[in-house]
Structure 1
């Protein structure tokens, strides 16, 4: 399947309680740090920072799954959006 942003793919976490269990996975080996994925994210779940460390001995370790992308201390799927977040998401797209 053709992906608009080649560094981002969707992987199925197979959550039983959630119909839409596809979350982004980032391949930093292909990322050019353009920020398009941050702009396209409907939940403001991705952000760009100046902290970049890409040195590694294995290319596969540059592939970040949703669990690896989560901030420290975050467990489980994202919470349901509140009314304000739903409004912002609707106006954004």
Structure 2
């Protein structure tokens, strides 16, 4: 893990690829998107949330080859925060346990 001012990098090993960047977003559109997603998926607890962790990456093919790393990062963030998980590529909201 490498920390920068506004995000940190996660890798399976120190010198490995892909790099997953994790950052906390409190941008104004986060609340609107949370409310839209809550309504679209009938998940009222998601409505109005004003911050979210975002996992980004530069190389989709590399991430798909190491998909377990992405899944582990998402599950870890959800477990640590007790929050919702919404991977937009599968359009599925997973509530905290």
User: In which range does the TM-score fall when normalised by the shorter chain?
Assistant: 0.3 to 0.5
| Structure with the larger helix share | 2
Q: What's the TM-score once normalised by structure 2's chain length?
A: 0.33
Q: What's the TM-score once normalised by structure 1's chain length?
A: 0.34
| Structure with the larger strand share | 2
